[in-house]
Structure 1
Amino acid sequence: MLKTGQAAPTFVLPDADMEEVDLSRYVGKHHLVLFFYPKDGTPQCTLEATDFSDHEEEFQRLGCMIMGISRDDCLRHAEFRDQHGISVRLLSDTEGEVCKQYGVWQVKEVDGVQRHCILRSTFIIDKHGVLRHVLYGVNAKGHAMEVLRAVKDLH
């Protein structure tokens, strides 16, 4: 698991439109919020993604970009985005490499069976590429507003 004060791992992932997003391009320009979520279309994941989308303009006024990451593929992300009016960028980590880098790919017991899944987590990265907030195991409800308050504190 990552810790506050560490350099954020960089990566290149495709978004819902299959355009590559290189995290290193944002260093020196924007604060970033990366939220990792288990699966497109599930109730809690939908709540979280739409909540971040609803507050995206407030984040942008603070010089902050928001990106969601799951292991769903680009086509699934596009369907999810279009169906629910999600405006934040959704990145596809089908191989789970970035999930592993950020320590969110974990074993969880579901119905008595051990299986790997994404632990809902959020990372706030400052303009210098440093992790300012590392939040593992978050609750989707009200989370976007918590993160917005934390981003305001960066100023």
Structure 2
Amino acid sequence: MIETGEKIDTNFKLDIVKDGEEQKVSFDELLDRPTIVSVYMRNNTSGCDKQNKSLAEHADWFDEHGYNLVAISKDTCGSHKNYAEKLGINYILASDPAYKFAEATDSVVEKNMFGNKYNAPTRSAYLLDTDGTVKAIIEKINTKDHASELKSMIENL
């Protein structure tokens, strides 16, 4: 996994849902101010719903304090649009089925579910500066209280 102080490669494209609209963007376009990227596995699953509900409830706080919020999973933008509406999400949802962000942060790991092994990103969060420098990392997210742990991370910088 990438470490604090290192710079990620921001030269890749993602499909996103922002303000209910689908867009294709270069990742570095999302870094117009410090940005929190919260990685989750899949829309409409218990832990991921808790993680995103926590962010949605506190999204205005992050905006008011000068941070972009981006939640990223392998789900399609169509799924993200429905998910955003269902949970009242007003931050960016990014679709990354090829795990480009996870590769940029060196956070693809082998997982095992029901005896099946596969590679997938870790459930983690990154605070990135506008140039892609990693300012802070949460390696294991507390899904129920994700916004509070991010606030604490910011306050302790």
Q: TM-score, normalised by structure 2?
A: 0.87
Q: Which residue of 2 aligns with 1:12?
A: 13
Unpaired runs of 5+ residues, structure 1, are none
Which residue identity lines up with residue 15 of structure 1 in the other structure?
A: I
Name the CA shift for 1:41/1:53 in 2 (closer, same or farther; >3 Å).
same
CA distance in 2, matches of 1:105, 1:128: 22
Deviations 1:73-121 (A, max 9, x none): 1111111111221112100012222222223332111122212233211
How far 1:37 moved relative to its partner?
A: 0.4
Corresponding residue of 1:54 = 57
Contact 1:49 1:88 in 2 (8 A): no
* Equivalence for 2:79: 76
When the two structures are aligned, how many residues end up with a matched partner? 153
How many angstroms apart in 1 are the aligned matches of 2:136 and 2:24?
A: 25
Equivalent residue number for residue 37 of structure 2: 34
Give, in whole Å, the separation in 2 of the partners of 1:3 and 1:151.
Answer: 16
Say which of 19, 25, 33 aligns to 1:21: 25
For residues 56 and 22 of structure 1, the distance between their equivalents in structure 2, rounded to whole angstroms, comes to 23
Equivalent residue for 1:147, pick from 142, 146, 150: 150
Give the conservation status (yes or no) of the 8 Å contact 1:6–1:130: yes
Report how far residue 20 of structure 1 moved: 2.4
Q: Which TM-score applies when normalising by structure 1?
A: 0.88
Q: Percent of aligned pairs with the same residue?
A: 23
Whether the 8 Å contact between 2:40 and 2:71 is mirrored in structure 1 is yes
Which of the numbers 97, 116, 122 marks the counterpart of 2:125? 122
Structure 2 stretches of 5 or more lacking a match?
A: none
Q: Does the residue aligned with 1:56 lie in a helix, a strand or coil?
A: helix
- RMSD (Å), alpha carbons: 1.8
1:54 to 1:75, Cα distance in 2 relative to 1, 3 A: same
